[in-house]
Amino acid sequence: MRQDRRTRLGILFGGRSGEHEVSLTSAASVIAALDPEAYEIFAAGITPSGRIARPSELKGMLPVELFGRIRPLAAIGTEASVLRVASGAPEEAPPAVGGDGGPEIWFPLLHGPYGEDGTMQGLLEMAGLPYIGCGVLASAAAMDKDLAKRLLAQSGLPVTPSLTVFSRELETGLASVRERAERAWGYPMFSKPANLGSSVGVRKIRRREEFGDAVRDSARYDRKILIEKGIDGRELECAVLGNDDARASVVGEVISAGEFYDYASKYVSTESRLEIPARIDAATADEIRALALRAFAVLDGSGLARVDFFLDRASGGVWINEINTMPGFTPISMYAKLWAAAGVPFAELVRELIRLGLERFEERNSRRVSCG
């Protein structure tokens, strides 16, 4: 990537998941923060139905003042790509650009299923396009909180205790599921979809009477539901940056406006705040940073991730809650703020993410795919 011209960066955003609106905010924040003298920004939006947005639709997905800073794309890939996905509206679509004229690398700012779960990463790899962030396996494993917990626990990492149930079990076996959870740890507890983020579908269960409605609500979003032990803990987060030689940021704390950091506390309330660095002792901070790097390595992460923790108020024990392979880049999101506090400003962070994505792409392409 030459340094005597603008970097051509493609932004993929929107998507089919319940985090569509969060993705729009992430994309707008990134576009607004990038220096137009340093970056030529291409954008491809994905509608809630999963279709590549037409330019007229793309206008409605970004703030009006930012639309003039991007080159809208109605296709991902080029005619020479292994795979090319287009909007299906040739009369309205600008020509898809590629080669020396199109994005050098894609930034898939997609959160949740159909974007952060390995599906978009697989599509980009099929199209032979470099991208920022974790690969197919790490993205898919981290998105499925049940699978991620199993992998992390098998590697000896402390994960929040939970049990996994399927939506079909709730039809006739709800009482049995409730009794299993009550025997395991009692109240309070949480229910959440296994494959979603931004606390969508997460419910706190304080007493037996709330159990059925809470679990059924979580099941609206996924066929697999996690029921987790309620931990009276502080919510801490650590950002990871790198490929095989990843490094961890300072540790931050989420001070939630609500009883826990639910969707409303994250994106609606103005009372939630972040405290960076977290007010914890150095030994605990070092433990969290080490656990974040180990979790990233266990899932074979690359590029970036944010690892979320609970610090038990009574025992001081540290629990891994989950790992996010494409954390939010909204104005209130922790990932970029953690690196800024660690001395990595946003412009430098994006440059490093691009470098890491190209490094992983070149490494992947250097491997043989057959013995011929």
Q: How far is CA 239 from CA 136, 249, 300, 361, in A?
A: 20, 5, 15, 22
- pLDDT tens-digit map of 12-62: 999 998 889 989 999 999 999 999 999 999 999 999 999 999 888 999 999
- Report the chain's mean pLDDT, rounded to a whole number: 89
Flag whether pLDDT at 280 surpasses 70.
Answer: yes
Which residue pairs from 54-61 have beta carbons closer than 8 angstroms and sit at least 24 positions apart in sequence? 54/87, 54/89, 54/92, 54/93, 55/92, 55/93, 55/94, 56/92, 61/13, 61/14, 61/24, 61/27
- pLDDT tens-digit map of 85-104: 776 655 454 444 444 578 99
DSSP output for 59-89: HTTS-HHHHTTEEE-SEES-TTSS--EE-S-
Strand partners, 203: 191
* Separation between Cα atoms, residue 230 and residue 310, nearest integer Å: 10
| Residue owning tokens 């400003």 | 345
What value does the mean pLDDT take over residues 303-315? 96
Any idea which fold 143-158+232-359 has?
D-amino Acid Aminotransferase; Chain A, domain 1 (3.30.470)
Query: Dihedral, CA atoms, 22, 23, 24, 27, nearest 10 degrees?
Result: 130
* Separation between Cα atoms, residue 304 and residue 323, nearest integer Å: 10
Among 192, 17, 200, 9, smallest CA distance to 108 is for 9
Domain ranges of the chain: 7-131, 143-158+232-359, 162-229
**CATH number, span 162-229:** 3.30.1490.20
* Separation between Cα atoms, residue 277 and residue 349, nearest integer Å: 18
Greatest pairwise CA separation for the chain in angstroms: 66
Cα dihedral 140, 143, 146, 149 sign: positive
* Separation between Cα atoms, residue 36 and residue 60, nearest integer Å: 21
- pLDDT tens-digit map of 317-337: 999 999 999 999 987 789 999
> What is the per-residue pLDDT for 201?
84
> Residue 268: how many CB atoms within 10 A of its CB?
12
Both structure tokens of 129: 């396009």
* Separation between Cα atoms, residue 133 and residue 100, nearest integer Å: 22
Strands 247-255 and 273-275: antiparallel
CATH class assigned to 7-131: alpha beta
> What is the per-residue pLDDT for 75?
85
